Amino acid sequence: MSYALHLKCRDCERTYPLEPVAACEDCWAPLEVVYDYGKLWADLRREDLATRPPTMWRYKELLPLREEPYVGRQTGFTPLVAVPHLGAALGIRDLYVKNDSVNHPTLSFKDRVVAVALSKAHEFGFGTVGCSSTGNLANAVAAQAAAGGFRAYIFIPAELEQEKIIATQVYGANLVRVQGNYDQVNRLCSEVAQKHSWGIVNVNLRSYYAEGSKTVGYEIAEQLGWRLPQNVVVPMAGGALITKIHKAFDELKKLAWVNPASTRFFGAQATGCSPITTAAKRGTSEIDPQKPHTIARSLAIGNPADGPYAVKAILASGGAGEDVSDDEIVEGIRLLGETEGIFTETAGGVTVAVARKLIRQGRLNPEESTVLVITGNGLKTIGALQGRIAESALIRPKLDDFEEQFLTARATTAA
């Protein structure tokens, strides 16, 4: 079913067969899945997709599976929502939210990448899978491993949000809490992958896993009526999502499924972990690793594997990287909630707050169509809001109390 040909090193272009390989053996750069676009263009028209089910698998020819998906068959095709009230608050006319906070089954965009990775793990015959994670990947791997009957080992930094820890363990996965930050956890995971013949989602399955992120880009284009937005704002951790949305838009142009319009890519990070935006601001793709310190834990990767490629995509598109403080992240979460009724986690707060900052700086054109990529659900990072939202009044079960507390006070402030 796939048009995937081989893997190719992003730096030296050495090719590898479609096997579980972590990175290029010569230069350690990531490996990219290469497809037969000529054949794909000849065989498939975008109209052929119209009758397919609304999941990420409607683009299966552009994904690297040989067989039908083994897990995550309902994942993807999340809503693209016009958000005029948020647009009015930010001063942007044509604004949309790509809402992966309601992705199936674990409420983040990581469900897409894991659906590809574990389906591929099944094709390769791995019975045991695992990952290193900043939280959402842990949830997605644990859930889909349970559904697929895999044994799972999930490595996380010890001080992760309680919601994300419990939402991993509930699926019966082996949770390995490591004293250290994500980058240390990831190094341990690579050693495990070398020693044991397991499918580690973001190590030896990484090239396949990352391809799942492209479906965010295909969906945005299709949901806009096969049109590319003029701007996208994307949160970045390792930097894979933004580079894969970029790849997706390029592929759609190659297939002539969209007009060859150009899109500016804006990458969003928390100031407390901003190695990619810092490099983008300096105009270099050389990343200086950082020690993360931010409430946006899902984005807290201090040494991002795809960082250099994310910077290149951003700068080549005429976009920019920008970062925001923890207070601004909370404001971003609240702004999206109060204007549009969408509750996102800290990563989504980063996206909204960065969009607001870019508008204020005059770097994002308010007259152009813009999509904010909202990647995770607010119920997973409740703790980030604790103590930051005013406690509401406690009353006795009496009408007088209610009116006094809520109507009199409200009337006074309104007047």
Ligand X SMILES: *Cc1c(COP(=O)(O)O)cnc(C)c1O
Q: Is 108 in the site for ligand X (CB under 6 A)?
A: yes
Q: Is 356 in the site for ligand X (CB under 6 A)?
A: no
The site map against Zn ion for 11-30 (x = CB under 5 A) is xx-x---------x-xx-x-
Nearer to ligand X, 236 or 324 (CB): 236
Alpha-carbon span 130 to 120, nearest angstrom: 13
- List the one residue from 107, 205, 236, 358 that touches ligand X (CB under 6 A): 236
Q: Is 376 in the site for ligand X (CB under 6 A)?
A: yes
Q: What is the DSSP string of 250-267?
A: HHHHHTTSS-----EEEE
Alpha-carbon span 266 to 324, nearest angstrom: 13
CA atoms within 13 A on the CB side of 88: 5
- List the one residue from 9, 185, 296, 335 that touches Zn ion (CB under 5 A): 9
Task: Say which entry of Zn ion, ligand X, none residue 278 contacts (CB below 5 to 8 A, set by partner kind).
Answer: none
Q: Is 201 in the site for ligand X (CB under 6 A)?
A: no
Q: How far is the CB of 283 from Zn ion (least distance, A)?
A: 25
Q: Is 238 in the site for ligand X (CB under 6 A)?
A: yes
Between vectors from CA 178 to CA 272 and to CA 166, what angle results, nearest 5°? 85
| Bridge pairing between strands 264-270 and 231-235 | parallel
- List the one residue from 9, 185, 347, 352 that touches ligand X (CB under 6 A): 347
Q: What is the DSSP letter of 407?
A: I
CA atoms within 13 A on the CB side of 343: 9
Q: Is 136 in the site for ligand X (CB under 6 A)?
A: yes
Alpha-carbon span 185 to 334, nearest angstrom: 31
Terminal Cα-to-Cα distance of the chain (whole angstroms): 66
Q: What's the longest Cα–Cα distance across the chain? A: 76
- List the one residue from 298, 303, 369, 381 that touches ligand X (CB under 6 A): 298
Q: Which of 35-51 are b and which e, b meaning 16 or more Cβ less than 10 Å from the residue's Cβ?
A: beeeebeeebeeeebee
Q: Is 65 in the site for ligand X (CB under 6 A)?
A: no
Report the 10 Å Cβ neighbour count for 325: 14
Q: How far is the CB of 159 from ligand X (least distance, A)?
A: 16
The residues with which 15 forms a beta bridge, in sequence order, are 8
Nearer to ligand X, 108 or 204 (CB): 108
Binding range to ligand X, per CB under 6 A, among 54-62, 69-77, 121-129, 232-240: 232-240
Beta strand residue intervals within 264-319, DSSP E = 264-270
Q: Is 202 in the site for ligand X (CB under 6 A)?
A: no
Q: How many residues bind ligand X (CB under 6 A)?
A: 16
- List the one residue from 189, 240, 280, 335 that touches ligand X (CB under 6 A): 240
Q: Is 292 in the site for ligand X (CB under 6 A)?
A: no
Binding range to ligand X, per CB under 6 A, among 118-126, 231-239, 254-262, 327-335: 231-239
The site map against Zn ion for 26-55 (x = CB under 5 A) is xx-x--------------------------
Return the structure tokens found at 116: 């590809």
Alpha-carbon span 26 to 329, nearest angstrom: 40
Q: Is 145 in the site for ligand X (CB under 6 A)?
A: no
Q: How far is the CB of 244 from ligand X (least distance, A)?
A: 7
Alpha-carbon span 347 to 381, nearest angstrom: 10
Task: Say which entry of ligand X, Zn ion, none residue 24 contacts (CB below 5 to 8 A, set by partner kind).
Answer: Zn ion
Return the structure tokens found at 153: 């080992």
Binding site residues, ligand X, CB under 6 A: 108, 110, 136, 235-241, 298-299, 345, 347, 375-376
Residues that bind Zn ion (CB under 5 A): 9, 11-12, 14, 24, 26-27, 29
